[in-house]
Structure 1
Amino acid sequence: MELRARVLLAAAGEEGMSTAEYAIGTIAAAAFGAVLYSVVTGDSIVNALTRIIDKALSTSVG
């Protein structure tokens, strides 16, 4: 009976694990999205992309 009680307690003790992991993963994804958004919308990235596009468009073929 003691083994069965340990198994039941172990199984019951992990019920919140998936919820906590899900919450931490969601927070991490939101933080990563915020950082990525701030980097992409920053002036240096926009200027670099503009230079690349201008260079590609101004290059004459042939």
Structure 2
Amino acid sequence: MTTAEYAVGTLAACAFAAVLLAVVRSGGVKSALASVITAALGVAG
């Protein structure tokens, strides 16, 4: 790939990472992940 293609690919990867980070940090997803982890570890809560 040329340098321009690397730049576009890098920007796309960063944008995708930012979207994933925003989704994971949302309240609903955070509580759902916490409940799944708690259930998997068998921690009483």
Q: TM-score, normalised by structure 2?
A: 0.73
Runs of 4+, deviation exceeding 6 Å: none
Structure 1 residue runs of 5 or longer lacking an equivalent are 1-16
Larger RCO (alpha carbons 8 Å, 6+ apart): 2
* Deviation, structure 1 residue 32: 0.6
Larger radius of gyration, structure 1 or 2? 1
2: CA distance between counterparts of 1:28 and 1:40? Answer: 18
Superimposed CA distance per residue, residues 4-46 of structure 1 (whole angstroms, 9 cap, x where no aligned partner): xxxxxxxxxxxxx601101100110110110010011111111
Q: Percent identity?
A: 48
